[in-house]
Chains A and B, each alone.
Chain A
Amino acid sequence: MALSHLAASASRSSSLLKPLSSGLSLRRSISGDNSPLTVETSVPFTSHQCEAPSRSVETNPKELLTFFRDMALMRRMEIAADSLYKAKLIRGFCHLYDGQEAVAVGMEAAITKKDCIITAYRDHCTFVSRGGTLLEVFAELMGRQAGCSKGKGGSMHFYKKDSNFYGGHGIVGAQVPLGCGLAFAQKYSKDETVTFALYGDGAANQGQLFEALNISALWDLPAILVCENNHYGMGTAEWRAAKSPAYYKRGDYVPGLKVDGMDALAVKQACKFAKEHALKNGPIILEMDTYRYHGHSMSDPGSTYRTRDEISGVRQERDPIERIRKLILSHDLATEKELKDVEKEVRKEVDDAIAQAKESPMPEPSELFTNVYAKGLGVESFGADRKEVRATLP
């Protein structure tokens, strides 16, 4: 797959190496700078009912290095979650995002924390990109108090109110009408923000999606529906479930854009374009062509419905982290060793977070009853015979 080609600014960036490398000897991590860099996306965008944005993406070394670090962190986090699950420290369901990191990272780069994101259950990395800490992630996965949902949600229910991350939903497709509702509130409040409602190729066949699309288009809501198309709805390939796997066209009267979801810069460009579009013209669909290396969840080996060759093929050709690594190296923004150091650092961070999360206690038994209703409108609890022990709980 075609990577970037060096633009004229390459010569500029090499002259900046000196200050970069001198900075390196002081700090433990490379930070890069903001000098502009233009990179071409891997493939051009395909559009439906709108003008596709340009293939040339404005970026800078700092951003690329941040992309690398963030994606490496997410990758390491997901793999660690895999081991924790197998060690039975994480129970229940666990849906891993490795392979799809570029979508989370690219989207975040194009928007602010005031914009809302809502997604389905494959939410660990989206949570992190919204500012969630590793401790909150691992504690929540293990059902501990330090988790983002106080241990009551688990893998599928991560939320972060202060950065407008509306989670974390178990029922397929149900989050999309919700997302459009968020967009409606944003339009009402006139604060120039948008909502990204993410869903998968499996959910694209849910009726409620079309209801949400119709309403959003009717009322010109700043809603961006993002289909993270990893080509498999659990074990069902997209061509078996959908008459038209061109999900970006499914909106019919709603414009759409197909994006290479393994290219963080393409994702960033598309999201920036979508935000501008949504604020002016109402809803737009983004289809992110992406891939997950793991199976649907930890109970799915992921190899009964696709070949190992396919998985390793994608890993070799389209891996989002490798793409950024090659970009960084070809532009001389960092050395191979420095990138490896970042990965080592990230690994340590993840291990430390896990150790800390393990220290966190399980929620108190009384937490079983909290937050069923708003505080004060109590839930009653009875002893086994309903006669003696009776308490009104928070």
Chain B
Amino acid sequence: MGFRNIIGRRLGLGLVRRRKPFSTATCDGDGNGNAKSINLYSAINQALHIALETDNRAFVFGEDVSFGGVFRCTTGLADRFGKARVFNTPLCEQGIVGFGIGLAAMGNRAIAEIQFADYIYPAFDQIVNEAAKFRYRSGNQFNCGGLTIRAPYGAVGHGGHYHSQSPEAFFCHVPGIKVVIPRSPRQAKGLLLSCIRDPNPVVFFEPKWLYRLAVEEVPEHDYMLPLSEAEVIRQGSDITLVGWGAQLSVMEQACNEAEKDGISCELIDLKTLLPWDKETVEASVRKTGRVLISHEAPVTGGFGAEISASIVERCFLRLEAPVARVCGLDTPFPLVFEPFYMPTKNKILDAIKATVNY
């Protein structure tokens, strides 16, 4: 059941749902009520509409968001909620995030858009040094929990060096913020609403490849999905695969192929990378004894390294094979070489077999 290009099918089978003390979500993502088949950018658009509707101190701003944004995620917002709440900023990422932190510090919900994750670096200082540490260094007097930063990330086939990057690992190294990455339209709407309402600053990366490609039935009502809860989206017994975002569909294809060779794969969507759900992954690894992590970002220092180290710490004696990482290569994201750089289905399949046959 690939979830790219699916129409009229529901995901969410095999959900492992456990309530966590710090999760703020109500789980109603099973499509009760009316559900319509829409794509990722429409789901995000719906979430933003609901966020602005339900909280009149919510703002959406960023470069070109007023007319709908370069990916159409913000269509209709300016018309519906007015220019005072949905507005364009000049071309200054550092300014956008800094401004958002200030807005949030006054108790508003600031939903900032960074046009491409590749451009988030001028704002890196603001996110790491200001947003992440505000509550901590003021002894809880102030916080910018109302801040949510949305950015499209990931390869798109022809993006080249500066329209394809996956910078999630940089942000996972910063206690004080949360990093969330959805895999599909229904997940995106629920997760984004949770992020916006979460009382901590959140960086929400949207897989741009899936903006149009991923189509799913998404309930029209207001619902939230829990943060820091990973989801087992495919049950298996031989090997655990961990991933997030657009990469999951590639991994799923590899799982399907592996199944033909009799390898039963368990696939986990991490959903929230920081703080990540170690328990779910650990429980799965205790079942299978093998784990493979896959992400588009370069392998060295990627988030897969953190997962690998944690799992080895916790499950060393249970592991039957070394932790495998199938990731982007250690080069800048290339232009013409993109097909070689990417962690493709065959690379993953290869690694699955090697790990299982270790």
Contacts and interface: CB of A to CB of B under 8 A. Distances in A.
Interface in B258-297: none
Interface stretch (B25-33, B131-139, B153-161, B223-231): B153-161
**Interface residues of A: mostly helix, strand, loop or mixed?**
loop
B142 interface: no
Contact of B337 (A235, A241, A365, A387): A365
B21 to A, nearest CB: 37
Given A154-B160, A368-B341, A363 B324 contact: no
Contacts of A91: 158
Given A91-B158, A202-B91, A367-B337, A386 B329 contact: no
A170 B92 contact: no
Given A92-B160, A235-B67, A236-B88, A381 B329 contact: yes
B75 to A, nearest CB: 13
B354 A387 contact: yes
A387 B336 CA distance: 27
Given A235-B67, A372-B332, A381-B329, A207 B355 contact: no
Contact of A92 (B63, B159, B329, B351): B159
Interface in B158-186: 158-163
Interface in A92-131: 92-93
Interface in B41-69: 63-64, 67
Interface string A228-263: 000001111000111000000000000000000000
B90 interface: yes
A384 B347 contact: yes
B64 A234 contact: yes
B82 interface: no
A221 B177 CA distance: 40
Contact of A241 (B88, B335, B346): B88
Contacts of A156: 160, 162
Contacts of A93: 160, 163
Contacts of A152: 334-337
A168 to B, nearest CB: 11
Contacts of A92: 158-160, 335
Interface residues of A, number: 43
Given A369-B331, A386-B324, A363 B336 contact: yes
Contacts of B64: 234-236
B277 to A, nearest CB: 25
Nearest to A383: B350
B117 interface: no
Given A91-B158, A92-B159, A368-B341, A205 B91 contact: yes
A272 B24 CA distance: 63
A380 interface: yes
Contacts of B63: 234, 236
Interface string B336-350: 110011000011101
B95 interface: yes
Interface string A362-394: 110101110010000001110111110000000
Given A92-B159, A170-B161, A379 B331 contact: yes
Given A235-B64, A236-B64, A368 B92 contact: no
Interface in A63-94: 91-93
Nearest to B95: A207
B337 A385 contact: no
Nearest to A368: B337
Most chain B C-beta atoms within 10 Å of own C-beta, residue among A236, A367, A372, A381: A236
Contacts of A202: 90-91
Contacts of A172: 91, 119
A207 B92 contact: yes
Which residue among B122, B325, B346 has the maximum number of chain A CB atoms within 10 Å of its CB? B122
Contacts of A206: 91-92, 122
8 contacts: A152-B335, A170-B160, A241-B90, A362-B336, A369-B329, A380-B330, A384-B346, A385-B354
A151 interface: yes
Contacts of A234: 63-64
Contacts of B159: 92
B94 interface: yes
Given A207-B94, A385-B355, A379 B350 contact: no
